[in-house]
Amino acid sequence: MLSYSFGPYVLVPERQSLTRDQTAVRVGSRALEILAALIERPGELVGKAELVSRVWPDTFVEESNLKVNVAALRRALGDAPDGTQYIATVSGRGYRFVFPVRIAGQSDTSLTAKSQDERTHNLPVSTTRLVGRSDAVDAIRCALEVSRLLTIVGPGGVGKTRLALAIADQLSAAYDHGIWFVDLATLNEATLVPTSIATAMGLRVHSANIKAAVAAFATDRQFMLVLDNCEHVIEAVASCAETLLAAAARVRILATSREPMRVLGEQVYRLPPLETPPDVSELSAAQALAFPAVELFVERAAGSRGEFELSDGNAPVVAEICRRLDGLALAIELAAPRLDAFSTRELLDLLADQSHVLSDRRCGDPRHHTLAATLDWSYGLLAEPERVLLRRLSVFAGAFSLESACAVAVDKGRARSECIYGVANLVAKSLISTERGELGTHYRLLDTTRKYALQKLAESGESNSLRQRHAEHLLELAKRAEAEWKIRPTAHWLAEYGRKMDDIRSALGWAFSGNRNIAVGVALTVAALPFWEHLSLLEECRTGVELALSRCFADFRSASDDMKLQLAYGTALLHTRGPLPEVKTAWTTALGSAKVLNDTEYMLRCLWGLCDYFTWTGDHQSALGMADRIRKLATDRGDLDARNNVHRQTGTALRYLGELAEARRHLERMISRYVPPVTRSDIARFQLDPRSAARGTLANVTWLQGHPDKAVAMAQRQLEEARAAQHALALCNAIVHTTCPIALLTGDLAAAERLLVGIEAHVAEHAMSIWSAMSRCLRAEWLLQSGDPSGLAMLRGALDELLVVGFRMRCPFYIGVYAAGLGDHGDVDAGQTAIGEAVALSASTGEIWCMPELLRIKAVLLGKESANRTVKAAEALYFQSLDLAHRQGALSWELRAATALAEHWAQSGQSERVGELLAPIYRRFGEGLTTRDLVRARGLLDTLGHAGKGSKSAARQARRDGHTHPNS
C-alpha cells in the first residue's frame, strides 16, 4: 500500500487517510481526491479538466466547484515549513503540487524511470523549416563538442527555442540515454526547476532532495538536457546545472535564456536577429531573398497564402517590413500570415500598431500569442530600477553612448554608476544590444523593444520630462559636433555623431509637436544644419528649415540663427527644387545678416552660393563677377583656401563662356595649389569637394580640347573621389555633369547606362527633383543614341521642368540634342524650330561653349532639304561651326563639324574635298582613336581613300565659295 509523505503530513489514498503528526486531518472526500491526484504527480501540471473528470467522474460541475475544494484543501494544509503553499495555481490551466514528496511502500531508490528505456527523447515535432540559421547550428554543434554547458542568449522572439530544438533533433541519436526538453516558461516557482527536469525525463520523484536525486540518477548515464526559457528562474537553473554537471561526466546541457547563467564552464552563444537587407532604393527579389529575414517572411507568407510570390516590385516593401520587425523571427512569423488579409504595403503601414498585427491566438505558447506578450514576460522579470531605466532609454531613437544614457536617464543628485550598472544588466538580459566600433561601444534598443518601453514610459507619466531632457542633450551634442567638424577627421566625426540623426529627428518632432518647446526646436534645427549638410539630407533640411523660419517663430530666433537658416535654405532649395528666385532671396538675406554681424566666413559662404545660383541660371558673366567679389574678400581676410578655390568657379564660368584655354588655366591652378583638409570642412563651405569638382569641369574642357582618353580618366577619378566622400551632391556633380556626359560624348553607351542606373536611384533616394530632371536629360540622350524615339518626349519634358524653375546651364546643348533627335526621326520642321530655340538661348545667356555643335546640328537639319539654296546655307553653317570651334580651341567640335560636312560632300559627289578638310583635323588627335567620333571620321577617310592625303583643294574651294576655313 502506497503512502505519500510531505512535510508533517502522510497521505494514504487507498484508506482516504490524511494525517498530520499522526493526527487525522478533517478534509472532504472531494478535496482528498484532488490532493491524491496532485501528489501522485509531484511537480507536474494537472489540468482543471483532468481533475474535474477524476473527482466528479459522472457528474457535470462548474469549474467553481474545483476552486472551492482546492481552497478548502489549502486551508486544511496551511503553509509548508518553508512558508510557501503546498499547491501552486497555474493561471487558467490547472494546479501543481510543489513540495518534495517521499513515497513509501516501494523500493528505496530515490528515482525510478517511467518507461525510460522506451523513449529516446521528448522533443516536440517541428512543423516548419529552420530558416537562416545554418551558421549558428554549425557553430553551436562544434561548441557542444568541447563544452558541456552552452546557453543560447538573445532577446525575446529572436528564435532561441527553435534553434535549440533543431540542434537537439540533429543530435538525437548521439546520446545513449536520450535528449530531454524542459520547458521552464510556465514555472512560477524557482524551487520547481529540479522537479520539472525530472518530470521531463519521465522520472518519478521519491526523494525530498530532488536536485541531488536527479544528479545521482544521471551519474552513469549519457544524455542532453535542453533547458528552455531559463531567464526568470536563472539562479535555480544555474544551481541545478552546476550540480548535474559535477555529478555526471557524460551529460550536456543546452539552454536558452535572455541572459547567461554565469557559471563556471558555461559557453554563451549570442543569437542575433535574422539579417535584413540594407535600406536601399533599388532591391530586386533575388537580392532580397539572399537575406534570411526575407526568406523566412516569404516562406511563412506562402504557407499562409499559397499564391504569394516575392517580386522585384514588392521586394523593397517586404525588406522594409523585415527591417521594421528588427529581423526577429517570431515577429516575422506572426506578421507574414497577415498577407491573407492585407497587401504588403498595407501590412507595412499597419505595423505602427503591432499589438493588432503581430498576434496569433492559435499559437501553442501563450507567451507568443503576441509579440507584446514576450516583452511583457521580459519586462516583468526586471527589478524596478531596471524597468525605470529601460523606459527612460526608450527616448533614444538610435544608438546612444553611456554618456548620453547617463545624461538623459539619471536624475539630478543620483550617481552615474547606477545607470552604468543598469545598462550592463539590460545588455546581459538581451533587452539592449551593443554596437562596438573603433571609437567605443554604443547601445541600442531594438525597435520592437523600444516601442514597448515607450508605451510604458507614457504610462509612467515621465514621458514629457524625459523628452525634454533628451532634446536638450541632443542640442548640446549637436553644438559640440558643429565645433568639432573642422578639427576631427571625417571618419571619426561620422562615427561619433553621424548616428545621432534619428535622435535629432525625434527631438525636433517632440519640440515642435503642439509647440511643446519652440525655443529648443529652433535652436536644435540650427544645430542640426551640419548633420543635414554632411549627411546629404537636403530635402529633410529644406522642410526643417522652412518650419524654423516660420513667422510665428520669429521671436525665438536670433540674427545669427536667421543667417544660418537662410543660408541652409538656399542650398537645400537649389539642389532639391532648382534655382528659384527664393534661392537668390535666401542667400541675399543671409549675406545681409552676415555683413551686419561682420561674419566674413558666412559672407564667403553666401557669395559662393550666389555664384552657383548664377551658374545654374546660365548667367555666367554674373557668376564671374561674384567670383571676383569672393576673391577680393578672401584676399582682404587672408583666406588662402577661399582665394585659391575660387579659381574653380572662375574656370567653370569661362568654360561655359567658351574660353577654354583660360578656363583650363584657372582649373589647373586651383587643382595644383589645393591643400586637402583633414576633415571635409571644404564641402560645408563650398557645397562640394572643390578639387574634385574642379577636376570634373577640367575633364569636360579636356574633352572639348580633343583629349578624350584623358577626359575619361579624369572623370573616372572624380567619380571615385565622389563615392569616397559619401556626399550626395558630390556624386550628383560627378555623374550628371562629368562622367555620364563624357561617356555619351565618346559613345560609350554601356558605361553611360551603368552610371544612369546608379544616379537615378541616388536622386530618387534623396528627393532631389532638380537633379532628377538633369539625369533624365542624360537618360533621354542615351535613348536617342540607342535609336529609341521615346527619348524625345522624355527630353522635352525634362527640359521644360528645368526651364520653368530658371535652370539654364547646359540647356542649350540639350535642346540641340532634342532638335537633332527630331530630325533623325523624321520631324525636320520641329527640329529646325528647336535648334533655333537652342541657338537663341545660347546667345542670350552667353553660354556659347556648345554653339559650334548647335551650328552643326542646324546645318544637318538644313541639309535634309533638297533645295540648292538650303545646301549652300547648310555649308555656310558648317564653316561657321568649324571657325568658332577653332577659335574656342574645341577640337572635338571641329572634328564633328568636319565629319558632318565631309559626309555631306561625299553624298553630293564632292568626295575629293573630304580628305583635305577632315584628315588634318583627324591627325591632330593623339588619343581616343576608338571613341565614336574618331572611329566615324576614320571610317569615312578609309572608305574614300583619303586617310593619308592633305592637298589644299578643299581650302581653295572654300575661299571660292566665300567661306573661311580654319585650316586655310
Interatomic CA distance for residues 256 and 269, integer angstroms: 10
Structure confidence at residue 898 (pLDDT): 96
Interatomic CA distance for residues 517 and 523, integer angstroms: 10
Dihedral pair phi/psi, residue 676, rounded to 5°: -65, 135
Provide, rounded to the nearest whole percent, the portion of the chain with pLDDT above 70: 89
**CA 561, 407, 414 angle in degrees (round to 5)?**
140
Decide if pLDDT at 683 tops 50. Answer: no
Structure confidence at residue 913 (pLDDT): 87
Task: Give the orientation angle of helix 769-785 with respect to helix 790-804, to 10 degrees.
Answer: 150
Decide if pLDDT at 681 tops 60. Answer: no
Better-scored residue on pLDDT, 261 or 340: 261
Residues 6+ apart with CB under 8 A from 122: 178, 180, 181, 200, 202
Q: What does the pLDDT average to over 262-280? A: 91
Which CA distances in Å does 718 have to 156, 730, 753?
A: 48, 9, 18
Structure confidence at residue 867 (pLDDT): 66
Provide, rounded to the nearest whole percent, the portion of the chain with pLDDT above 90: 51
CA 447 to chain centre: 13
Better-scored residue on pLDDT, 467 or 723: 467
Strand partners, 149: 253, 266
Structure confidence at residue 381 (pLDDT): 76
Decide if pLDDT at 564 tops 60. Answer: yes
Residue pointed to by grid coordinates 501528489: 39
Highest mean pLDDT among 358-372, 477-491, 882-896: 882-896
Better-scored residue on pLDDT, 188 or 391: 391
Structure confidence at residue 688 (pLDDT): 54
* CA-closest candidate to residue 729, choices 570, 537, 876, 875: 537
- Helix (H/G/I), strand (E/B), else coil: 687: coil
Interatomic CA distance for residues 141 and 594, integer angstroms: 67
Interatomic CA distance for residues 232 and 257, integer angstroms: 9
Which CA distances in Å does 831 have to 131, 796, 825, 955?
A: 60, 12, 10, 30
Amino acid at 926: G
CA 740 to chain centre: 27
Interatomic CA distance for residues 717 and 691, integer angstroms: 11
Strand partners, 257: 153
Q: With left for phi above 0 and alpha for psi between -120 and 50, is residue 514 left, alpha or beta?
A: left
pLDDT in tens, 442-491: 898 877 788 889 989 999 999 999 999 999 999 999 888 888 877 777 66
Q: What is the mean pLDDT of the chain?
A: 86
Structure confidence at residue 121 (pLDDT): 80
Structure confidence at residue 947 (pLDDT): 52
Structure confidence at residue 949 (pLDDT): 45
Q: What does the pLDDT average to over 63-72? A: 82
Strands (E), 245-343: 252-257, 266-270
Q: Which helix (H) or strand (E) holds 711?
A: helix 708-725
Burial of 275 (C-beta count, 10 Å sphere; 0-12/13-18/19+)? middle
681: cell is 570642412
Decide if pLDDT at 432 tops 90. Answer: no
pLDDT band at 965, cuts 50/70/90? Answer: very low
Strands (E), 854-906: none
Decide if pLDDT at 685 tops 50. Answer: no
Dihedral pair phi/psi, residue 510, rounded to 5°: -70, -45
Interatomic CA distance for residues 538 and 821, integer angstroms: 34
pLDDT band at 109, cuts 50/70/90? Answer: very low
Strand partners, 436: 441
Strand partners, 269: 152
628: cell is 571676383
pLDDT band at 346, cuts 50/70/90? Answer: confident
Q: Which residues of 888-925 are buried (b: 16+ CB within 10 A; e: fewer)?
A: bbbbbbbbbbbbbbbbbbbeeeebbbbbbbbbbbbeeb
Ranking 309-313, 435-439, 440-444, 570-574 by mean pLDDT, the lowest is 435-439
Structure confidence at residue 208 (pLDDT): 61
* CA-closest candidate to residue 730, choices 682, 769, 658, 669: 682
pLDDT in tens, 762-804: 887 777 889 999 999 999 999 999 999 999 999 999 999 999 9
* CA-closest candidate to residue 854, choices 872, 834, 870, 826: 834
Interatomic CA distance for residues 105 and 75, integer angstroms: 28
Strands 440-444 and 87-90: what pairing? unpaired
pLDDT in tens, 543-557: 999 999 999 999 999
Better-scored residue on pLDDT, 465 or 334: 465
Q: Are 19 and 25 in contact (CB under 8 A)?
A: yes
Structure confidence at residue 139 (pLDDT): 94
Decide if pLDDT at 591 tops 50. Answer: yes
Using only C-alpha atoms, the chain has a radius of gyration, in whole angstroms, of 40
Q: What does the pLDDT average to over 250-264? A: 94
Q: Are 965 and 954 in contact (CB under 8 A)?
A: yes
Structure confidence at residue 270 (pLDDT): 94
Strand partners, 9: 6, 20
Structure confidence at residue 466 (pLDDT): 94
Better-scored residue on pLDDT, 493 or 422: 422
Strand partners, 88: 96
304: cell is 499562409
pLDDT in tens, 641-657: 889 999 999 999 999 99
Interatomic CA distance for residues 441 and 402, integer angstroms: 8
Which CA distances in Å does 70 have to 20, 81, 88, 438?
A: 18, 19, 10, 61
Interatomic CA distance for residues 161 and 184, integer angstroms: 12
Decide if pLDDT at 634 tops 50. Answer: yes
pTM of the model as a whole: 0.66
pLDDT band at 336, cuts 50/70/90? Answer: confident
**CA 121, 125, 130 angle in degrees (round to 5)?**
115
Highest mean pLDDT among 45-59, 199-213, 355-369, 537-551: 537-551
Q: Which helix (H) or strand (E) holds 435?
A: strand 433-437
Q: With left for phi above 0 and alpha for psi between -120 and 50, is residue 658 left, alpha or beta?
A: left
Which CA distances in Å does 818 have to 146, 450, 786, 828, 938?
A: 72, 54, 14, 11, 26
Amino acid at 678: V
- Report DSSP letters for 202-246, one per residue: TEEE--S-HHHHHHHHHTT---EEEEE--GGGHHHHHHHHHHHHH
DSSP state of 673: H
* CA-closest candidate to residue 283, choices 272, 291, 271: 291
CB-CB neighbours of 402 under 10 Å = 16
Strand partners, 440: 437
Interatomic CA distance for residues 11 and 87, integer angstroms: 15
Interatomic CA distance for residues 165 and 90, integer angstroms: 25
- Helix (H/G/I), strand (E/B), else coil: 931: coil
Interatomic CA distance for residues 595 and 341, integer angstroms: 62
Q: Are 648 and 694 in contact (CB under 8 A)?
A: yes
Better-scored residue on pLDDT, 57 or 364: 57
pLDDT band at 966, cuts 50/70/90? Answer: very low
Interatomic CA distance for residues 326 and 427, integer angstroms: 17
Query: Would you give the end-to-end CA distance of the chain in angstroms?
Result: 130
